[in-house]
Amino acid sequence: MRMVDLIEKKRDNLTLTKEEINYMIQEYTNETIPDYQMSAMMMAIYFNGMTDEEATHLTMAMLNSGDQIDLSSIPGKKVDKHSTGGVGDKTTLVLGPLVASTGVKVAKLSGRGLGHTGGTLDKLESIPEFNINLSIDDFLAQVKNINIAVAGQTKDITPADKLLYALRDVTATVPSIPLIASSIMSKKLASGSDVIVLDVKIGEGAFMKTIEEARELSQVMVNIGNSLGKKTIAFLTDMSQPLGYAVGNKLEVIEAIETLKGNGPDDLTELCLEIGSYMVYNADITDSLKKAKALIKDNIKNNKALEKQAEFIKAQNGKLPELNEFINVKKTIDITAKESGYIKSINALTVGISAMKLGAGRKTKEDDIDPDVGVVLNKKVGDKVTKGDTLATIYTNDLSIDDVLEELNNAFVMTDKKIKKRDIIFEIIS
Ligand code: URA
């Protein structure tokens, strides 16, 4: 087989076979296919797309390029949840303990944040001494013992995806639906769960800017998962404004704890109850979605979810101080409303970039982050505001942040007309 023939085929919009896709992924991982040929292939796929069958073969080829976690020694159905990334998305910190408290086995590999989006590992590591480097044996034992473990992805999982993603990043071929779908699904399949719940974010702060493209991506991922024997469900959810109020690592940990206590923001709470019920029901803990929702609501009321979270943090060596001593910053600065009215929009991308500039996120993979800093919104879209009200509070260790102040001010758009609150969940595809 010759890579040039495969590039020609895809250039001419023909369908690649399983053998051809396996060949190109294996040989690229072995470094016998050069970057310039793979770049041409990625661009041909970007323009001509792939059939669902091709995307499934690509997913399998990337999955088989590295290690896979074998969860079969853990009894019961294992459930994974993945978010395509957004601003203020602390859903895993809430959902993990919440569903684990009902008996669902959550064995989760998570990633770090980059650019304006946060990452679960960074949020967990903002808890002093929290350990995300678990050996496979410890990871499995912890899921067996307390139903939940969250660890960092090792370099040996889907190495082909790591190489390809880096190449796509510098060849303008990231935004291709079959390439994104196979990249995400290969990593999810390598984690070994039986049920995969995808939270596909839509809006300014997300990868997918429109519902149409999010729907298409979700459908491809659901088809890939289901055709490989994994029950796969996709939620299409709003990321036009940040999720909840807090953006920044420790700030988000605190908001997640408040949500587990039943005092969380409406949007985050609704999202977690809805996705959580699907996780509990599909893990066969209850025989209906309605009972699943009632069970997780009970576990918030009776503190079981909060206790599970404390158990999970302790199991991974985390030492969470009293919440009022958790955050230490040099300064907090309020942003106030210049006029009265209603909040029309809060640009999630701008808020995410502002938090990144404060140090909560990374511009490049190599950057260090500051776990204490970030932004806490005080208002959400649809809220009524009187001139002088606090719109958001900045937590900072950097005292020269005039650019951030101006950007954040501009992130809030006001109107004098009453605005309907946005739904957090647009669609569910299963
Ligand atoms: N997230 C991934 O894991 N892969 C992509 O290609 C895009 C987003």
**Sheet of strand 390-396: strand arrangement:** 246-247, 374-377, 390-396, 331-336
Q: Is the pLDDT of residue 207 over 90?
A: no
> What is the reported pLDDT for 137?
94
> What is the reported pLDDT for 188?
95
11 a catalytic residue = no
Residue that the structure tokens 């296919």 belong to: 33
Q: What is the mean pLDDT of residues 97-124?
A: 92
Question: What is the tens place of the pLDDT at every residue in 113-129?
Answer: 877 888 999 999 999 99
> What is the reported pLDDT for 113?
81
> What is the reported pLDDT for 80?
95
Tokens of 60: 């399998």
With the most atoms of ligand 1 within 8 angstroms of its CB, the residue from 173, 183, 239 to mutate is 183
Task: Show Cβ contacts of residue 46 under 8 Å, excluding neighbours closer than 6 positions.
Answer: 172, 173, 175, 176, 179
Q: How long a stretch of residues is the chain?
A: 430
CATH topology of domain 78-315: Pyrimidine Nucleoside Phosphorylase; Chain A, domain 2 (3.40.1030)
Catalytic-labelled residue, pool 176, 183, 240, 277: 183
Q: What is the mean pLDDT of residues 135-153?
A: 95
Give me ligand 1 centre to Cα 165, in Å.
7
Tokens of 334: 């309020």
Question: What is the tens place of the pLDDT at every residue in 2-29?
Answer: 999 999 999 999 999 999 999 999 999 9
Q: Is the pLDDT of residue 216 over 80?
A: yes
Atom of ligand 1 nearest to the CA of 207: 8
Helix, strand, or coil (residue 398): coil
Q: Are strands 148-152 and 106-110 parallel, antiparallel or unpaired?
A: parallel
Mean pLDDT of the chain: 95
> What is the reported pLDDT for 72?
95
With the most atoms of ligand 1 within 8 angstroms of its CB, the residue from 84, 117, 189 to mutate is 84
Give me ligand 1 centre to Cα 174, in Å.
8
Q: Whose CA is nearest to atom 2 of ligand 1?
A: 184
pTM of the model: 0.94
Question: What is the tens place of the pLDDT at every residue in 327-364?
Answer: 999 999 999 999 999 999 999 999 999 999 999 998 88
What would you report as the CA-atom Rg of the chain, rounded to the nearest whole angstrom? 22
Task: Show Cβ contacts of residue 183 under 8 Å, excluding neighbours closer than 6 positions.
Answer: 62, 161, 164, 165
Give me ligand 1 centre to Cα 283, in Å.
26
422 a catalytic residue = no
Task: Assess contact for 264 and 88: CB atoms under 8 A.
Answer: no
Give the CA count within 13 Å in the CB-facing half-sphere of 391. Answer: 29
Q: Is the pLDDT of residue 153 over 90?
A: no
Give the CA count within 13 Å in the CB-facing half-sphere of 173. Answer: 21
CA distance 37 to 2: 11
Multiple choice CATH, 3-49, 1.20.970.10, 3.40.50.740, 3.20.20.70, 3.40.50.1100: 1.20.970.10
Domain boundaries, the chain: 3-49, 78-315, 326-415
> What is the reported pLDDT for 111?
84
pLDDT more than 70, % of the chain? 100
Question: What is the tens place of the pLDDT at every residue in 360-401?
Answer: 998 888 888 999 999 999 999 999 999 999 999 999 998 889
> What is the reported pLDDT for 105?
97
Comparing 44-53, 168-177, 272-281, the range with the smallest average pLDDT is: 168-177
Domain 326-415 has what CATH class? alpha beta
Q: Whose CA is nearest to atom 6 of ligand 1?
A: 180
> What is the reported pLDDT for 48?
98
Question: What is the tens place of the pLDDT at every residue in 64-90?
Answer: 999 999 999 999 999 999 999 899 999
Q: Is the pLDDT of residue 141 over 90?
A: yes
Task: Assess contact for 256 and 245: CB atoms under 8 A.
Answer: no
Q: How far apart are the first and last CA of the chain?
A: 37
161 a catalytic residue = yes
293 a catalytic residue = no
168 a catalytic residue = yes
Task: Show Cβ contacts of residue 95 under 8 Å, excluding neighbours closer than 6 positions.
Answer: 81, 272, 275, 276, 279
Catalytic-labelled residue, pool 10, 57, 78, 82: 82
Residue type for 372, please? Answer: D
Q: Give the pocket of ligand 1 (CB within 6 Å).
A: 165, 174, 179-180, 183-184, 207
Instruction: State how far the alpha carbon of 62 is from the alpha carbons of 28, 47, 66, 68, 163, in Å.
Output: 11, 21, 8, 11, 10
Give me ligand 1 centre to Cα 162, in Å.
10
Interhelix angle for 91-100 vs 249-260, to 10°?
A: 40
Q: Whose CA is nearest to atom 5 of ligand 1?
A: 180
